[in-house]
Copies of this chain bind each other. A is one copy, B any other.
Amino acid sequence: MINSRQRTVFIVSESTGITAETMAHSLLSQFPHLEFTYHQRSFVDTEEKAHELAKEIYEVGESQGFRPLVFATMPETNINDILASANCHYYEIFESFLDKIGHDLHTEPTRESGLSHGMINHKTYDARIDALNFTLKHDDAMVLKTIGESDIIIIGVSRSGKTPTSLYLALKFGIKVANYPITEDDFEKNELPQVLLDNKHKIFATSIKAKRLMQIREKRIPNSEYSSLKTCKAEIAKANKLYKKYGFVPMDVTKRSIEELAAQIIKTFKGKQDITLTPSTDI
């Protein structure tokens, strides 16, 4: 048995289930008093698989005393009907919108599955992979010579989240990102390398609270000079001094997730110049 605050959620799709998963998590985050356990069931693309899953849903409901929640993207009507009649709270998240959009656009939806996250177009897909390779190569100032080919350059002190944010931007949007950790050498000169200054308009500066930085560094090299609160504080202060010199307004990353940072970075740069986005959901 489970307790009365727990609920089981099935994410069901004929394809990857990314859309259903995103919607389910977003919607259920609005019910923080309940605890949800998620089960992903991708590629449910035959009636046989649907019947099997309906049986599983029924059994979970029986054993737990609560009907599971099912979030599905099911453009195919027959499979949808099988799942909708299972003993669950069923939310098909496509249908009502598809009808309305089709009506508004005076055209019929194709009702094929796998269109949104499959490899529909090799060219845009390859552009995204190229962006990822560029980003990996230009991680952590590994290569500076070709940094001018990047769309965005993220700078900040070591371990302030530059790498994850760079990789996310590349993987999800096909943006070429370089990142540069500001080091002792830069602090001593109170200057950034010329190759960075030549690309000043692409720079996105980050800052972080010293306590959080210490916490992250402690996990990497415990009880070290590097991870001490004193070092963290000093580096952050020196980075801020550099930012001021060049007129960068840093963004505090302390309480921001990769996704929030990425959204903010795109918003900032779209205002300044046109980054060509190759969203993953377009391929």
Cross-chain contact of A19 among B15, B23, B38, B171 (Cβ < 8 A): B23
Interface size of A in residues (CB-CB distance below 8 Å): 82
Copies of this protein chain in the complex:
2
What's the least CB distance linking A278 to chain B, in Å?
11
User: Which of A114-122, A177-185, A190-198, A231-239 is near enough to bind chain B?
Assistant: A114-122
Tell me, yes or no, whether A21 is within 8 Å of chain B by CB. yes
Contacts of A50 in B (CB 8 A): none
A101–B94 touching, CB < 8 Å: no
Contacts of A105 in B (CB 8 A): 7, 31, 34, 89
A25–B282 touching, CB < 8 Å: yes
Contacts of A7 in B (CB 8 A): 105
Contacts A17-B263, A164-B171, A267-B42 given; does A91 touch B98 at CB 8 Å: no
Contacts of A101 in B (CB 8 A): 27-28, 30-31, 69, 89, 91
Contacts A119-B255, A257-B117, A267-B42 given; does A30 touch B89 at CB 8 Å: no
What's the least CB distance linking A5 to chain B, in Å?
10
A22–B18 touching, CB < 8 Å: yes
Tell me, yes or no, whether A29 is within 8 Å of chain B by CB. yes
A260–B15 touching, CB < 8 Å: yes
B260–A26 touching, CB < 8 Å: no
Tell me, yes or no, whether A246 is within 8 Å of chain B by CB. no
Contacts of A260 in B (CB 8 A): 15-16, 114, 117-119
Tell me, yes or no, whether A188 is within 8 Å of chain B by CB. no
Contacts of A18 in B (CB 8 A): 22, 259, 263
What's the least CB distance linking A137 to chain B, in Å?
11
Contacts of A107 in B (CB 8 A): 31, 33-34
Contacts of A144 in B (CB 8 A): none
Cross-chain contact of A171 among B93, B167, B219 (Cβ < 8 A): B167
Which A residues from 242 to 277 make CB contacts under 8 A with B? 255-260, 262-264, 266-267, 270, 277
A26-B116, A43-B264 are known; give 10 further A-B pairs, CB within 8 A: A15-B260, A16-B259, A19-B23, A22-B22, A25-B279, A30-B75, A40-B263, A40-B266, A117-B260, A167-B171
- Could you pull out 6 A-B pairs where Cβ atoms are within 8 angstroms? A15-B260, A19-B26, A21-B279, A25-B116, A30-B98, A118-B255
